[in-house]
Chains A and B, each alone.
Chain A
Amino acid sequence: MTEMLSIWTEKYRPNKFEEVFGQDEIVKRVKNLTNSLNIPHMLFAGSAGTGKSTLAIIVAKELFKEYWKENYLELNASDARGIDVIRQEVKNFARTKSLGSVPFKIIFLDEADALTKEAQQALRRTMENYTNTCRFILSCNYSSKIIDPIQSRCVVFRFKLLEFKDIEKVIKRIAENEKLNIEEKGVKALYEGSEGDCRRAINLIQASASISPNITEGIVNILLSNAKPKDIKIVLDYALAGDFEKSREKLLEVMLKESVSGTDIIKAIQKEIWNLSIDAELKVKLTEKTGEVEFRLVEGSDEFIQLESLLASFVLAGLGKKL
C-alpha cells in the first residue's frame, strides 16, 4: 500500500501519536482521551499543516483499528454545497451503529470556520442530535470564527506552527528514506519556505527532489520564487511614485494571473516593505497600516478594495506625507 503513495505528504503522514512532531502537549492529551475510549467533541484550531487532520485520523485508527474507515467520516465545510448537505451526510452516517466495540463514530469537519454563523447554529443542533452516536472533531484556522455555543461544547486544542527543530526532524527522516542529500543551508531554506507548515515543507522537499537528489538552498529558493506572488515590488514602486492607477492595475494582474489570495498578497507586501528605499519611520508606519488592512481583509467582504486602500497609503508615503 505505502509503495503506491507517490505523494510524500501522504507517504510520510504519521500513523501513530508518537510520530506527530511539534504538538507534544496536545498529542499527550488527545492520546489519553483516546485511550479512555470516550472522546468528547473536539475543536482543533491552528494554521494549515500543523497536524489537525493527521491527528484526527490517528484518533480514528487507534479507536476503531481495522474498522476505522467505516467509522470515520471526513467532510469539508468550505465545499459550496452548504450546511444542508453536511447535515444530510451526517444523518446518513450517524444512522447506523458503529462497527466494533466503540459505541460511537467520528465525524471530522474540516475548515469549520468557513461556515456562516447561521450554518454553525444549525451544526450545533446537529451535534446535539447525534451526540449519542457520533463525536465531532472540528478543525479551523481561527477559533474566533467559531460561535461560542459550539466552542463551549468542544474541548479546544490550539495547534502551534512547527518550529525549526520539528521541521528539521521531518526533513532528516525523509532525506534518509529517499536517499537525498540536503545541505545545511537547504534545510534552513526549506524551513523558512514552509512557514511552520509541515505539509508545505514536505511538498517543497519533494518538488526539490524532482529537480535533483542534491538539495541546495538555491534549488529551494527557485521553487519558492515560483510560488510567491511575483512583481509585488513593481506594484509598490508604482504606488510610491504616485501612480495609483497603474499600481492597482498591476496588482489585479498579479492576483488574477496566478489566482493569489489577498492574504498572500498582504504577506508579500509586508515582506517587501523592508526592501523599499524609504525612510525607516515610514516603513514602520506602512507595516502598521499593512497589519490593519490584513485585519480588515479578514473581516470585510472585498479583498481588492482593502488592498487598494493599502496602495493609497503607499501613494501618500511616496509623497513624503505623514500617514
Chain B
Amino acid sequence: MAIPFFEKYRPKKFIELRGQDLALYKVKAFLSSFNPDITKKKAVLLYGPAGTGKTTLALICANETNSELFELNASDLRNRAKLDEVLKPSTLQKSLFNKGKIILVDEVDGVTSTEYGGIAELIALIEKTKFPIIITCNDIWQNKFNLLRSKCEMIPMKELTYQITLDILKNIVKKENKIVSENILKEIAAKSRGDLRAALNDLQSIIDSEVDEATASEVISVREKSQDIFNALKTLFKRRADEEVLSLFESVDMDLDQITLWVEENISKEYRGEELAKAFNALSKADLFKGRIYKQQYWHFLTYQNFFLTAGIAAAKGPKNIPERFTKYNPPSRILKIWMANQRNAKKKSIAIKYAELTHTSKRRAVNDFNIIARIIDNNTIKRMNLSEPEIEFLQEKQQELKESLVVKA
C-alpha cells in the first residue's frame, strides 16, 4: 500500500478542514490572541472520538502560523532534558527562519496520573510555556484529567456527519482517478460513524484490492461489525480457539473489567468438569495479570490479561466446536450483591474501623474478628470510640444476638 489516504489527503489549511467550524473558530481565536505573559490558559485541549481531525488540526495550526511543531509524548514529559529543550526560547531559530513554536501533546489518554505519570509535568509545562500548547485526547472526562481540564481551553471535535464523510470520499475517488460505486461509498460513510480515518482506510483497501462490489460490501461489513456481548460470549464459548478469538472483545463496547464479569458469570453455563476447571484457571490467570498491571502499572501485561480472557477460555474446551444450541447468558450479578451487602455491613465496618484506630489494630483484622470484639466493647469503650447513635444501636443488637447464640448452644 502506498501512502495511506488519511496522510495523503490530510488538510494543510484551516479552510480545508471539514465539519469542524466551531473548533476552527476557537483555535484560531486562541492562536491569534496568544501572549505568554497575558493568556491565562496557554493550552487548548482538542477532544473527541478517533478520526475527527484532532491531530490534523494541530498540524494545520503549525503550518498556517509558520511555526515549528514540537511533539511530546508521555515519556518525554518525564524527561527533564527534553522538556528544557522544548521550553528554551528558540532565539536562534527565530532570527534565522522567523519561526515560532507550537507544542503538541498528542493522545494524552496514555498519560497516567501517578507520581511519575506525567500529568503533573504537563500542567507545570502549561504554566511555564512561552509557546502555545495543543493537547489532543479521546476521553477527557476521566478523573485523572480533572485538574488538566481546568488549565486548558476546552475545544470539542465532533464526529463527521454522514454527508461530509461521503463528500470527502467522493472527492478522493475522483482525485485518485478510480471508480467506486455510489452504493459502496455510502456504505463506507455510514459504517464509519464519523470516524474519517476508518472511512479512508476502508476506501483505500477496497480500491487497492480491486474487488467487485459484492465482495467490497462484505469487506466493509466484516471490518466494522460491532458485536454485542452476547455474541462475543457465544463465540468465546462455542467456537474453536483460533487467532481471531484474541481480538474478540475489541469490538465490544464495554471495558475489560465489565467483560470479565460477564465471562465469569456465564462460564458455568457452557463448560462442565475439566473444561470448567481449565476455563477458570485461565480466568484466574487473566486476573493475576490484571493485579500485576494495577500494582506495577505495567501495561504491557494487558496482552496477557486479554490472552487468557479470550484464547485461554476458548481453548478450555479443546480443539472442537461446541454444537450450536441456545444458551441464555445472564448479566453479572455479583457486583449488585456486593453493593447490597456493603450497605448492610456499613455500620459493622465503621464500628470496626473506630475500634481499630483506638487500639492500633489493622482494620481488616478488626472487621474479621468483629464477633469477638463486639463482646468486649463496653460503655466506657463506646464513649472513647465516639460511636454514633445508629452505630451504638447496631452494636447492642449484635451483642444481644451473640449472647442468645450462646444460650442456644449451651
Contacts and interface: CB of A to CB of B under 8 A. Distances in A.
A259 B341 contact: yes
Contacts of A54: 360
A59 to B, nearest CB: 14
A44 to B, nearest CB: 13
A301 B297 contact: no
A206 interface: yes
Contact of A204 (B337, B338, B372, B402): B372
Contact of A118 (B116, B363, B364, B368): B116
A226 B297 contact: no
A204 B373 CA distance: 8
Interface in A82-132: 83, 110-111, 116-119, 121-122
A49 B369 CA distance: 13
Contact of A300 (B288, B357, B370): B288
Nearest to A255: B341
B359 A302 contact: no
B341 A256 contact: yes
Q: What class of interface size applies to chain B in its complex with A?
A: 35 or more
Interface string B332-362: 0010011001100100110000000111111
B119 to A, nearest CB: 12
B327 interface: no
B361 A199 contact: yes
A301 B409 contact: no
A211 B342 CA distance: 30
Nearest to A57: B360
A81 interface: no
Nearest to B409: A222
A74 interface: yes
B281 interface: yes
**Which residue of B279, B297, B334 has the most chain A CB atoms within 10 A of its CB atom?**
B334
B290 to A, nearest CB: 5
Given A227-B372, A252-B334, A121 B116 contact: yes
B295 interface: yes
Interface stretch (B15-23, B35-43, B65-73, B270-278): B270-278
Interface in B256-299: 260, 264, 268, 273-274, 276-277, 279-281, 283-285, 287-288, 290-292, 294-297
A193 to B, nearest CB: 9
A28 to B, nearest CB: 23
A226 B402 contact: yes
Contacts of A223: 371-372, 375
A144 B117 CA distance: 24
Given A261-B364, A305-B287, A308-B280, A7 B296 contact: no
B334 A210 contact: no
A200 B372 CA distance: 9
A118 B276 contact: no
B381 interface: yes
Interface in B184-224: none
Contacts of A207: 372-373, 375-376
A304 B348 contact: no
B406 A222 contact: yes
Interface SS of chain B: helix, strand, loop or mixed?
A: helix
A315 B349 CA distance: 34
A258 to B, nearest CB: 7
Given A117-B295, A203-B372, A316 B277 contact: yes
B295 to A, nearest CB: 6
A203 B189 CA distance: 70
**Which residue of B264, B285, B372 has the most chain A CB atoms within 10 A of its CB atom?**
B372
Contacts of A53: 360
Given A203-B376, A227-B368, A261-B364, A315 B276 contact: yes
A49 B365 CA distance: 10
Interface string B52-64: 0000000000000
A309 B284 contact: yes
A299 B286 CA distance: 11
A222 B363 CA distance: 23
A223 B370 CA distance: 11
Interface in B96-154: 114-117
22 contacts: A6-B378, A7-B376, A76-B363, A78-B363, A116-B295, A117-B296, A200-B369, A207-B375, A227-B368, A244-B276, A252-B334, A257-B341, A258-B370, A259-B348, A300-B291, A305-B283, A305-B284, A308-B284, A309-B280, A312-B277, A315-B273, A319-B273
Interface of B: 114-117, 260, 264, 268, 273-274, 276-277, 279-281, 283-285, 287-288, 290-292, 294-297, 334, 337-338, 341-342, 345, 348-349, 357-365, 367-373, 375-378, 380-381, 402, 405-406, 409
